[in-house]
Structure 1
Amino acid sequence: MEKRLWWRLGAVLLLVPALLCGSGCKQGAVKNKTSEKKVELMKEPYKNEEFATGTYVQVLIYDKGHGDADFKVVKDQLNELAAKFEVYEQGESEFDKINAQAGIQPVKVSNITFKLAKALEKYAKSSKGEYNPTVGVMTQLWHIGFSNGQVPSDELVKATLDKVDYKDIVIDDKNQTVFLKKKGMMIEADGIGKGFIAEQLLKTLKKQGVTTAVVNLGGHAYTMGKNPNHKDGFWEVGIANPQLGENQDSPLVGVLMSGHTSFNTTNNYGRYLKAGDKVYSHLFDTKTGYPIETDLLSVTMVGYNPTYDDAYSNVLMNMGLEKGMKYVNDHDELDAVFVTKNKEVHISKHIPGEFELLDKTFKVVEGVAKD
């Protein structure tokens, strides 16, 4: 059996054969006969790792002759996007400026920030608020995932409720402005930001002449081209064990073998707050101002559109197993793997036979998995 290395990214893990080398190493290559240009793909990719946009970013390139120059372009783009999208305490990003002018006046933004703002509004509307980018005031109050995270008073929680409404986002196409109607409102990209950024990076790599690559952003994996190490071109993606601090029989619940290009996991173990015996999710019920109560530990969206899939992994997590599974099975464009708190794995009907269970303390109770 070929040795595989598990690159643990907190949620989704790309399974890569052998050891990955740095961007300057040379590897054996395989020819891509389907391309008009001569393309040589390596079995072991060039690799680059950065910490940007508030998360761990890993880029793998399989095209021979690419590497350092492409990684520099990607790094520069990451820094540029971080400067525009991240919500800083210094108030320097374009999103900070939008939030600072909430209830006061519209803010003119750059083309890329405007494009992201429109995506935020689009998926908030299509999910009827299950994904809500105006939740920023709640995330700031609780600060879940940070060292100073704490459970706020009920009075403070209730004070956030009237400041969280995606219908209060005003997008002006003519003037390219974004406006939040109420003072104190905060918009944030958390929830679709990783998918959106991945789309931009993959487009950039394609312009650089790269045909086959993987972008890992904080536990989400996005691919371009076909896996040169699999006869069908499928990618092997491991779904991490989502138990919080418990002894784990395997770092993975299982492996998904798929021809999809976008793998997004929303979970309760990447960012959470533990207060006494209670664990609070970083996702919020915007009707109550408190973290969601769900029967799920994680949801992995499997698809072809990074931004869409990122948004809907959050939507499905908010919905819970029963409602979420029904929603996925009713939409042919959606595929997902649900992992529940009672250690059950539920696989949507559109991806039968592609999931291999590794940790036998879990069990597949819905959908088809490999024996």
Structure 2
Amino acid sequence: MFFLKRSNKLVPIVREFYVLGTIIKLTVYGKNAEKAIEEAIERLQEIDDKMSVFKNYSDISNVNANAGILPQKVDIDTYFVIKKAVEYSELSGGAFDPTIRPLMDLWGFGKGKGQVPGKYIIKEKLNFVNYKNIILNKEDHTVMLKNKGQAIDFGGIAKGYAADEVKNIFLRNSIKHALIDLGGNLFVLGKKIDKTFWNIGIQHPLRMRGEYVGVINAANKSIVTSGNYERYFMVDGKRFHHILDPRTGYPSENGVISATIVSDFSIDGDALSTCLYVMGANEGIKFLESIDGVDGIVITEDKKVYTTSRVKDNFKLLSDEFIYEELG
């Protein structure tokens, strides 16, 4: 069945499927691997049904459709994620903001076709982006957006929550070794089967997918990277990427081209990778140094690498194009 005598090694069960708008790949070791994967698939579909802005029956779609009108009762999962999103918004001073959806639509990232909007319409849409206008009622789990035209987008946090939920399912099924890949949001459960650390490559931001700028050793950690190479369009030779600065309405431009978070929980990594990218190397790294259990790696367009102090010795540069730089 699952155990093979060849080399006396466990052979993983590997499943790939599509949900949450991305390709999911689960690599799982253990006698309960098949059962755990089936439970994980079902759970991921549940999360997608509740939190996708592309499904008109989802909790988020109901909240958005009733912006400025009525509070909407949402599932406990959705309420938890919205509450966490507001916390990250407050912590980062608005570098992360789940009410970014009107701007994402304006730039065409929500529609699959990019466009450069005029500065006046950007300024107008900025009036709808304000996490402080999310009204939460913890007694009955209702959520309301204060003004018509506002909309929530979970693109910067839902996959992190989902990865944590998959990890919890695996733990309940006594899985000790697994690689959870939610479209680049990684969580490594335990060590590898040979008791060594997982070697996780950090995508080279200037080269083809699968080429790495460096590698980090990890166990029981989430590794999430936000980069300007993930979703973008070109106009007159200029790249317009999907990581919008909620404070300006434009794609973030501060010299950062890649931001990676290493954390205990993937929901932290998902939101904080956006915060780090938008805040920039200097402010972002100092921000992360103040948060327990969270580390960061920033790559800039002038080919410098900045890291938090705790992760530097665990990150190995593979490319001689880049150099380590200490913060001033």
Structure 1 Cα separation of the partners of residues 116 and 82 of structure 2: 30
Please provide the CA RMSD for this pair. Answer: 2.3
2:94 aligned to which of 129, 140, 144: 129
Residue 100 (structure 1) shift = 0.2
* 1:281 correspondence with 2:241: yes
1:155 aligned to which of 113, 117, 120: 120
TM-score (normalised: structure 1)? 0.82
Structure 1 Cα separation of the partners of residues 175 and 53 of structure 2: 31
Structure 2 Cα separation of the partners of residues 271 and 74 of structure 1: 27
1:236 aligns with 199
Structure 1 Cα separation of the partners of residues 128 and 135 of structure 2: 14
TM-score (normalised: structure 2)? 0.92
Give, as a single letter, the amino acid of the residue that structure 2 aligns with 1:52: V
Change (3 A) 1:72 1:173: same
* 1:48 correspondence with 2:15: yes
Structure 2 Cα separation of the partners of residues 127 and 78 of structure 1: 28
Question: Alignment partner of 1:266: what SS?
Answer: strand
Give, as a single letter, the amino acid of the residue that structure 2 aligns with 1:301: I
Q: CA offsets, 1:77-134, max 9 Å, x none?
A: 111111111101x522110010000000000111211121211122112222111000
Residue 228 (structure 1) shift = 2.4
Give, as a single letter, the amino acid of the residue that structure 1 aligns with 2:212: L
Residue 170 (structure 1) shift = 0.5
* Residue pairs, 1:71-82, within 5 angstroms: 71-82=37-48
* Residue pairs, 1:40-189, within 5 angstroms: 42=10, 44-63=11-30, 65-88=31-54, 91-144=56-109, 147-189=112-154
Name the count of aligned residue pairs: 327
Residue 29 (structure 1) shift = 9.1
Structure 1 Cα separation of the partners of residues 151 and 130 of structure 2: 10
Residue 279 (structure 1) shift = 1.0
Aligned sequence identity (%): 30
Segments of 4+ moved more than 4 angstroms? 28-31
Residue 284 (structure 1) shift = 1.7
Change (3 A) 1:319 1:30: farther
Question: Alignment partner of 2:29: what SS?
Answer: strand
Residue 145 (structure 1) shift = 7.5
CA contact (8 A) 2:223 2:261 kept: yes
Structure 2 regions of 5+ residues with no counterpart? none
Residue 300 (structure 1) shift = 0.8
Question: Alignment partner of 1:84: what SS?
Answer: helix
Give, as a single letter, the amino acid of the residue that structure 2 aligns with 1:208: N
Structure 1 Cα separation of the partners of residues 221 and 241 of structure 2: 27
Structure 2 Cα separation of the partners of residues 30 and 66 of structure 1: 21
Question: Alignment partner of 2:98: what SS?
Answer: coil
Give, as a single letter, the amino acid of the residue that structure 1 aligns with 2:103: M
Change (3 A) 1:180 1:247: closer
Q: Which moved more, 1:162-171 or 1:291-300?
A: 291-300
Question: Alignment partner of 1:163: what SS?
Answer: coil
Q: Which moved more, 1:191-200 or 1:101-110?
A: 191-200
Structure 1 regions of 5+ residues with no counterpart? 1-23, 32-40
Structure 2 Cα separation of the partners of residues 178 and 247 of structure 1: 41
Larger strand proportion of the pair:
1
* 1:352 correspondence with 2:312: yes
Give, as a single letter, the amino acid of the residue that structure 2 aligns with 1:219: G
Residue 147 (structure 1) shift = 4.0
Structure 2 Cα separation of the partners of residues 26 and 325 of structure 1: 44
